[in-house]
Each structure stands twice: as C-alpha cells, then as structure tokens.
Amino acid sequence: NLTQYESITEEDKIIIKSFLKAKKYDEIANELNKSTPYIKKRAKFIFDTFEVPDLISFLSTYRRYDILFTKEDVMNYNKKVTQKI
C-alpha cells in the first residue's frame, strides 16, 4: 500500500509502475522527460524506502503482490477482498 509512504511521490509511483512493467531506466527517463541519472537516483530512494538493495531485489520481493498506488486502489482492493469472504 503505497499510500502509507508519504515520501513516495507521484513520479516515484510512475517509476515503480514502470519497473513492474519491466521498463528500463532509459525508457522511463524518456517517458518522464528526465535524465537517466535522475531516474537512477529516484530508484535508489525507492529501494532505500522499501529496504531492498537494488531493482532485482525490489522486483523479486514485490512483483507477486498487488501494489496499491492510490486511496481508490485501496478501497477497491478492500471491496474485492470483502466480496471473497
């Protein structure tokens, strides 16, 4: 649930979504009109926030989970879970 991480910006969320879609740093940089070193710096911040050392660890840890990016995502997920009960 990314909504509980106040330090994660909307741009960081886009970067995270891009990682989960297997996009490369250069591709993300082009899409966001940023430099590749900037994306790598934000990625390091993201990895530090989630206490993983690198992209491989991030993906192996979080790829299998439903990542909730917004409060609306959280509400929809809770509805889905409640309906299964």
What is the residue-wise DSSP string for 30-58?
HHHT--HHHHHHHHHHHHHHTT-SSHHHH
Report the pLDDT value the prediction gives residue 81, as an integer from 0 to 100: 63
Question: Considering only CA atoms, which of 12, 9, 24 is closest in space to residue 55?
Answer: 24
Report the pLDDT value the prediction gives residue 52, as an integer from 0 to 100: 92
Higher pLDDT, 41 or 81: 41
Cα 35 from chain centre: 19
Q: What is the pLDDT of residues 12-60, one digit of tens each?
A: 989 998 998 889 999 999 999 999 999 999 999 999 998 999 999 888 8
Of 1-10, 43-52, 65-74, which one has max mean pLDDT?
A: 43-52
